[in-house]
Amino acid sequence: MREPLVTVGWLATALDDPRLCLLDASVELAAPEFDGDYRVESGKAGWLAGHIRGARHADLLGELVDPQASFSFALPDARSALDSLQRLGVHDDSLIVIYDRSDGFWAARLWWMLRSLGIAAAVLDGGLRAWIAAGLALEKGDEPSVRTGTLSAATRYLDGFWIDRHGVGKVVAGEAPGTLVCALSAALFDGSAVTRYARRGHIPGSSNLPARSLFDDDGRYRRGAALSEALSGLRQAEPPLLLYCGGGISAAALALALTLAGETRVAIYDGSLQEWAAEPSLPLTTGAAPA
């Protein structure tokens, strides 16, 4: 699978392929009712209630994170990530397809993690919603235990896929090249909306391209001219494109869209605003991005 996306039709014909490793990466993140209202739960209950046949729940809130980090969804060390993937039954020859219940945002996060480990995978375009809309069946309850996989991927992340708080700080200070891009909504970017995070606003100097704008009304990624138009504001930006959001999730959806468009100099700020806004000494600003 060279393309980062697969269709419902492709997946339906591949369900009986013994190489298929289908992962449900869903997480439940509640809309905030007041500033700092951060409520997140595992998506396993939803997976138990209904999933595509053969899918295993990939836990982005517990198994596939760094438990010592100060923010949610923190990138685990590469060895831990590989161990977790092997427990999910991922092998060197697996055809890995990832989906979720939220149009692919969580799936994109796991896809980017795997890509940064040198592991090929694809996201189901449109996610579970597209599968159900196609009239295809779901199964309930736990899947039988799977055979532990064997992965020979590198035990470190490849360079250029991630940036940390200190790297972002250098860009803000003008000490390193790059363009910061916030993938949250315009209202969260300019500080007019209630935020889950400790402070409202965005990292100074950021552009704003809401990841949601990259999807059509059916929850599928825009393609062709429509995608090019949606990304046109970043075409002249200084590389690398350094993407962030609240927790590195919407940023991953933007990273996938940029990959579809052929962009290669892209990195995600793992801690995003959950880390940045929690540190009072780090600058945030409000208001719309410059025209």
Which pLDDT does position 20 carry in this prediction? 97
- Is the pLDDT at 291 greater than 70? The verdict is no
How large is the average pLDDT for residues 47-74? 95
Architecture of domain 5-133: 3-Layer(aba) Sandwich (3.40)
Exposed e or buried b per residue across 261-284, where buried means at least 16 C-beta atoms within 10 angstroms of its C-beta: bebeebbbbbbbbbbbbeeeebeb
Q: What are the tens digits of pLDDT across the range 248-270?
A: 999 999 999 999 999 999 999 99
- Which of 145, 98, 148 lies closest to 119, judged by CA? 98
- Which of 60, 58, 63, 37 lies closest to 47, judged by CA? 58
Domain boundaries along the sequence of the chain: 5-133, 162-276
Alpha-carbon dihedral 207, 69, 109, 56, rounded to 10 degrees = -160
- Is the pLDDT at 1 greater than 70? The verdict is no
Q: What are the tens digits of pLDDT across the range 225-251?
A: 999 999 998 988 999 999 999 999 999
Residues in the chain: 291
- Is the pLDDT at 5 greater than 80? The verdict is yes
Pairing between strand 27-29 and 40-42? Answer: antiparallel
- Is the pLDDT at 172 greater than 80? The verdict is yes
pLDDT band, very low/low/confident/very high, at 2 (cuts 50, 70, 90): confident
Q: What are the tens digits of pLDDT across the range 133-160?
A: 999 999 999 876 788 888 987 789 999 9
Out of 19-33, 71-85, 137-151, 176-190, pick the least confident.
137-151
Is 5-133's fold the same as 162-276's?
Answer: yes
Topology of domain 162-276, per CATH? Oxidized Rhodanese; domain 1 (3.40.250)
pTM, full prediction: 0.97
Q: What is the mean pLDDT of the chain?
A: 95
- Is the pLDDT at 74 greater than 90? The verdict is yes
